[in-house]
């Protein structure tokens, strides 16, 4: 059974820092991996989608990598801003559904 | 708005009551998904529709939960005899054709069972 783990569960950084969020999954047979952002009381906003044949994706200050063989992905956020404060969820797809981790709650202080 | 919409945004009900939650997918999206997110957890899959039919309902927790999509667009998630443990945020997502295409999520319905 596929399991997704995100470390750390929570992270607090001062504005301007670069940071890395980690995601690991137990079964490497995946179609893709997605990173989402969730603001309190809100739905999910897709940040980056990495297909299983890809190694990384970039969007603005965000860079996500995928190492299928080791079952790991990282989300790198450059020059963090207070507006980046949210919960970041990692999800893998191996069949119909997305399998989510519990998320990392990020707080960026000004 | 071109995104996935869900109504109501909040629903408070009493234990034992029946509730319906509605999802309007992005126009043209043939695939629709329901997920449930409990406090402090990631979303968990409930059911997937391709067109009008439920192609995968393996995530429904028990027979109190049922979902329909009669015209292949709007979907309704129905919960009978609600229990306090059903309290969660119910999220809907849609995409073009299912498969490994990106899923786009709605804002969710927060259900509270008293």
Asked whether residue B19 carries a pLDDT value surpassing 60, the answer given is yes
- How big is the CA angle at A20 (ends A32 and A46), to the nearest 5 degrees? 40
Contacts of B100 in chain A (CB under 8 A): 31-32, 51, 93
User: What's the mean per-residue pLDDT of chain A?
Assistant: 95
Asked whether residue B9 carries a pLDDT value surpassing 70, the answer given is yes
Mutant choice from A2, A91, A98, A101 vs B, greatest count of B C-beta within 10 A: A98
Q: What percent of chain B has pLDDT over 70?
A: 99
Q: What percent of chain B has pLDDT over 90?
A: 92
Asked whether residue B1 carries a pLDDT value surpassing 80, the answer given is no
For residue A102, give how far its alpha carbon lies from the nearest alpha carbon of chain B (Å). 4
Distance CA B56, CA A97 (A): 9
Q: Quick check: A34 contacting B, CB < 8 Å? A: yes
- Least confidently predicted of A97-106, B34-43, B98-107: B98-107
Asked whether residue B101 carries a pLDDT value surpassing 90, the answer given is no
Q: What percent of chain A has pLDDT over 70?
A: 100
Residue A42 pLDDT level (bands cut at 50, 70, 90): confident
Quick check: bond before B70 cis, omega within 30? Answer: no
Q: Is the Cα torsion angle A71, A34, A86, B19 positive or negative in sign?
A: negative
Asked whether residue A13 carries a pLDDT value surpassing 60, the answer given is yes
| Cβ <8 Å between B43 and A46 | no
* B58-89 confidence digits (pLDDT tens): 999 999 999 999 999 999 999 999 999 999 99
Minimal-distance CA residue of chain B relative to A32: B100
For residue B58, give how far its alpha carbon lies from the nearest alpha carbon of chain A (Å). 10
Contacts of B108 in chain A (CB under 8 A): 42-43
* A44-72 confidence digits (pLDDT tens): 999 999 999 999 999 999 999 999 999 99
DSSP of A24-66: EES----SEEEEEEE-TT--EEEEEEEETT-SEEEETTEEEEE
User: Mean pLDDT across the stretch B24-46?
Assistant: 95
User: Mean pLDDT across the stretch A3-24?
Assistant: 96
For residue A67, give how far its alpha carbon lies from the nearest alpha carbon of chain B (Å). 18
């Amino acid at each position: 059974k596929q399991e997704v783990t995100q470390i750390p569960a929570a992270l607090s950084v001062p504005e301007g820092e670069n940071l890395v969020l980690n995601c690991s999954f137990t079964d490497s047979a995946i179609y893709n991996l997605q990173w989402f952002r969730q603001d309190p009381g809100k739905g999910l906003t897709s940040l980056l989608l990495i297909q299983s044949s890809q190694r990384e994706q970039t969007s603005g200050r965000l860079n996500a990598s995928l190492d299928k063989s080791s079952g790991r992905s990282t989300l790198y956020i450059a020059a963090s801003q207070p507006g980046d404060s949210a919960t970041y969820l990692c999800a893998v797809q191996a069949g119909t559904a997305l399998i989510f981790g519990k998320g990392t709650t990020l707080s960026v202080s000004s | 708005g071109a995104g996935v919409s869900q109504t109501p945004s909040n629903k408070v009900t009493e234990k034992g009551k029946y509730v319906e939650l509605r999802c309007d997918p992005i126009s043209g999206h043939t695939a629709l998904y329901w997920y449930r997110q409990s406090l402090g957890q990631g979303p968990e899959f409930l059911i997937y529709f391709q067109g009008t039919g439920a192609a995968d309902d393996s995530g429904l927790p028990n027979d109190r939960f049922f979902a329909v999509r009669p015209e292949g667009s709007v979907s309704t998630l129905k919960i009978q005899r609600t229990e306090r443990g059903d309290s969660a945020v119910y999220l809907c997502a849609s995409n073009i054709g299912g498969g490994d295409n990106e899923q786009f999520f709605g804002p969710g319905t927060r259900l509270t069972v008293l």
